């Protein structure tokens, strides 16, 4: 990775959180050296409370002692500050930029809760309802990919991974874990072939691999949550 100069860069969070994964991918794509500060599940450290006193959530990027909160705000910040390093994450076209932001907001509003409900479903009725909601979002994203991938290019951002790719891709580990836990295929070539091809391209990127936890660890944690019926990845957004 390229050096971040004399600037101190730290990322505070839990590796299994899709929101923390977003920040890690962005830092890797921009080739920024950083220190990862691991939080403990269910515990809010003094540093977390000090760095994000409003929401008290992770991730938090600490850059030269200044905290930046909320995952996609962090991604945008990384793109702005290290604009000359690595790849550009946000499109320069104003309309495309707006579309990336729109679909990211939609994703976190609709997909995150439906995927979590699917992973935690305890009855066939709950599973069926959550599956329907989850697949509805994925099919909309399939349609969005056709319009946004710039004539068949591999990513929502074109030739390279961008802002929206990071937002969606951060959930792929939890999608795979959910598939294993409930015995249901979400990334189905028959239903969403373009999104499946996109997911393969995304996961094969070195910057993504280095920021992504092992699926088996996500499965273990998801099973733990199911046994206790507790909320998902703690304090993350």
Structure confidence by residue, pLDDT tens digits, 120-134: 998 999 999 999 999
Report yes or no on 87 lying in a domain: no
* Bond into 59 cis (ω within 30): yes
Q: First and final CA of the chain: distance in angstroms?
A: 26
Domain that holds residue 49: 9-81
| Whole-angstrom distance, CA of residue 42 vs CA of residue 186 | 29
Structure confidence by residue, pLDDT tens digits, 60-86: 999 999 999 999 999 999 999 999 998
Q: Looking at residue 30, which CATH number applies to its domain?
A: 3.40.30.10
Report yes or no on 2 lying in a domain: no
Q: How many residues does the chain have?
A: 237
Report yes or no on 174 lying in a domain: yes
The pLDDT of residue 226: 87
Dihedral through CA 179, CA 218, CA 195, CA 98, nearest 10? Answer: 130
Instruction: Please state the rounded mean pLDDT for residues 31-52.
Output: 95
The pLDDT of residue 236: 55
The pLDDT of residue 55: 95
150 plus 187 within the same structural domain: yes
Phi then psi for residue 54, to 5 deg, are -80, -60
Q: What percent of the chain has pLDDT over 90?
A: 86
152 plus 48 within the same structural domain: no
Report yes or no on 236 lying in a domain: no
pLDDT at 2 over 50: no
H-helix or E-strand spanning residue 69: strand 66-69
**Domain edge (last residue) among 59, 81, 103:** 81
Tally the domains of the chain.
2
The pLDDT of residue 230: 54
Q: In the 8-state DSSP scheme, what is residue 15?
A: T
For the stretch 197-201, contacts whose Cβ atoms lie closer than 8 Å and that sit 24 or more positions apart, written own/partner, are 197/154, 198/145, 198/149, 198/154, 198/155, 198/156, 198/165, 199/169, 199/172, 201/154, 201/155
**Domain edge (last residue) among 37, 52, 81:** 81
**Domain edge (last residue) among 23, 47, 81:** 81
31 plus 112 within the same structural domain: no
Q: Are 215 and 108 in contact (CB under 8 A)?
A: no
Q: Which residue has the higher pLDDT, 10 or 147?
A: 10
In sequence order, what DSSP letters do the residues of 140-188 get, joined into one string?
HHHHHHHHHSTTT-SBTTBSS--HHHHHHHTTHHHHHHHHHHHT--SS-
Report yes or no on 3 lying in a domain: no
Q: In the 8-state DSSP scheme, what is residue 236?
A: B
The pLDDT of residue 227: 86
Please, where are the H alpha helices in the chain?
Answer: 18-29, 46-51, 71-81, 94-106, 112-120, 124-148, 163-169, 172-182, 193-203, 206-211, 215-228
| Whole-angstrom distance, CA of residue 63 vs CA of residue 98 | 26
135 plus 223 within the same structural domain: yes
Q: Provide the mean pLDDT of the chain.
A: 92
The pLDDT of residue 237: 58
Res. 174 pLDDT band, cuts 50 70 90: very high
209 plus 98 within the same structural domain: yes
Give every CB contact of residue 68 below 8 A, 6+ residues apart in sequence: 60, 61, 62, 74, 77
| Whole-angstrom distance, CA of residue 132 vs CA of residue 128 | 6
Report yes or no on 86 lying in a domain: no
Instruction: Please state the rounded mean pLDDT for residues 186-212.
Output: 97
Res. 114 pLDDT band, cuts 50 70 90: very high
100 plus 73 within the same structural domain: no
pTM for the model: 0.93
């Amino acid at each position: 990775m390229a050096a971040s100069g004399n600037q101190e860069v730290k990322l505070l969070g839990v590796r299994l959180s899709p929101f923390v994964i977003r920040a890690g991918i962005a830092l890797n794509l921009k080739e920024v050296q950083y220190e990862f500060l691991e939080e403990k599940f269910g515990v809010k450290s003094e540093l977390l409370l000090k760095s994000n006193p409003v929401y008290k959530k992770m991730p938090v990027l600490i850059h030269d002692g200044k905290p930046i909160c909320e995952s996609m705000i962090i991604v945008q910040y990384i793109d702005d500050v290290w604009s000359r390093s690595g790849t550009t994450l946000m499109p320069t076209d104003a309309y495309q930029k707006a579309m990336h932001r729109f679909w990211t907001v939609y994703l976190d509003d609709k997909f995150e809760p439906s995927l979590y409900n699917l992973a935690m479903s305890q009855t066939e009725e709950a599973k069926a309802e959550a599956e329907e909601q989850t697949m509805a979002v994925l099919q909309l994203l399939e349609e969005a990919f056709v319009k946004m991938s710039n004539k068949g290019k591999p990513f929502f951002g074109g030739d390279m991974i961008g802002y929206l790719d990071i937002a969606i891709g951060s959930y792929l580990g939890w999608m795979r874990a959910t598939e294993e836990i409930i015995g249901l295929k979400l990334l189905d070539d028959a239903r969403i072939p373009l999104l499946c091809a996109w997911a393969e391209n995304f996961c094969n990127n070195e910057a993504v691999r280095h920021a992504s936890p092992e699926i088996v660890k996500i499965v273990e944690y998801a099973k733990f949550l199911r046994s206790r019926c507790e909320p998902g990845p703690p304090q993350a957004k």
